A = this chain, B = another copy of it.
Amino acid sequence: MAEERENKQGRVAETVTDLLQGGTVPEARRMLNALHPAEIANLLESFPAPERKLLWELVDEANGGDVLLQVNDEVRSGLIREMDDQELLAATSGMDMDDLADFMQDLPKTLTGEILRSLDNQNRQRLEAVLAYPEDSAGGLMNTDTVTVRPDVSLDVVLRYLRMRGEMPELTDHLFVVSRFDHFLGVLRVSDLLTRDPAGRVEDVLDTEAVAIPAETSDREVAKMFEDRDLISAPVLDARGRLIGRITIDDVVDVIREEAERSILSMAGLGEEEDLFAPIWSSTRRRAVWLGLNLLTALLAAYVIGLFEATIQQVVALAVLMPVVASMGGIAGTQTLALVIRALALGQIASRNTRALLYKELGIGVLNGLLWAGILAGIAILWFGRPALGAIIAAAMTINLVVAALSGVGVPLVLKRFGVDPALAGGVVLTTVTDVIGFMSFLGLATFFLL
State the A residues within 8 Å of B (CB).
1-2, 5-6, 9-10, 13-14, 17, 36, 38-39, 42, 45-48, 70, 159, 162-163, 165-168, 170-173, 190-191, 193-197, 214, 216-218, 220-221, 224, 226-230, 232, 249-250, 252-254, 256-257, 259-261, 263-265, 267-270, 274, 276-278, 280-281, 283-284, 287-288, 290-292, 294-295, 298-299, 301-302, 305-306, 309, 312-313, 316-317, 319-324, 326-328, 331-332, 334-335, 337-339, 341-343, 346-350, 352-353, 356-357, 360, 363-364, 367-368, 371-372, 375-376, 379, 383, 435
Contacts and interface: CB of A to CB of B under 8 A. Distances in A.
A426 to B, nearest CB: 11
Contacts of A326: 323
Contact of A327 (B36, B220, B256, B298): B298
27 contacts: A10-B347, A36-B229, A42-B347, A48-B360, A70-B228, A165-B195, A171-B173, A171-B230, A190-B190, A232-B249, A252-B253, A253-B253, A256-B256, A256-B257, A256-B260, A260-B263, A268-B334, A290-B335, A292-B372, A298-B328, A299-B379, A309-B316, A309-B317, A312-B319, A316-B319, A319-B319, A319-B322
A210 to B, nearest CB: 13
Contacts of A332: 287, 291
Contact of A42 (B173, B220, B280, B348): B348
Contact of A305 (B14, B197, B319): B319
Contacts of A270: 335, 338-339
Nearest to A170: B230
A257 B230 CA distance: 13
B338 A264 contact: yes
Contacts of A70: 228
Nearest to A315: B313
Given A46-B348, A162-B194, A328 B294 contact: yes
Contacts of A376: 295
Contact of A320 (B190, B195, B305): B305
A312 B313 CA distance: 8
A291 B6 contact: no
A7 B383 CA distance: 55
Contact of A228 (B17, B36, B173, B324): B36
Nearest to A214: B1
B277 A360 contact: yes
Given A218-B2, A302-B321, A324-B302, A39 B228 contact: yes
Nearest to A327: B298
Contacts of A6: 347, 350
Nearest to A37: B228
B1 A217 contact: yes
A347 B195 CA distance: 43
Contact of A328 (B191, B295, B367): B295
A30 B451 CA distance: 67
Contacts of A321: 302
Nearest to A431: B327
A229 B1 contact: no
A320 B309 contact: yes
A268 B217 contact: no
What are the 9 closest A-B residue pairs judged by CB atoms, nearest first? A260-B260, A38-B228, A46-B348, A319-B319, A268-B338, A230-B250, A6-B347, A168-B191, A280-B363
Given A1-B221, A263-B264, 20 more contacts: A2-B221, A2-B224, A38-B228, A38-B229, A39-B228, A46-B347, A163-B195, A171-B230, A232-B249, A264-B264, A264-B341, A269-B331, A270-B338, A277-B356, A278-B360, A280-B364, A288-B372, A295-B328, A302-B323, A319-B322
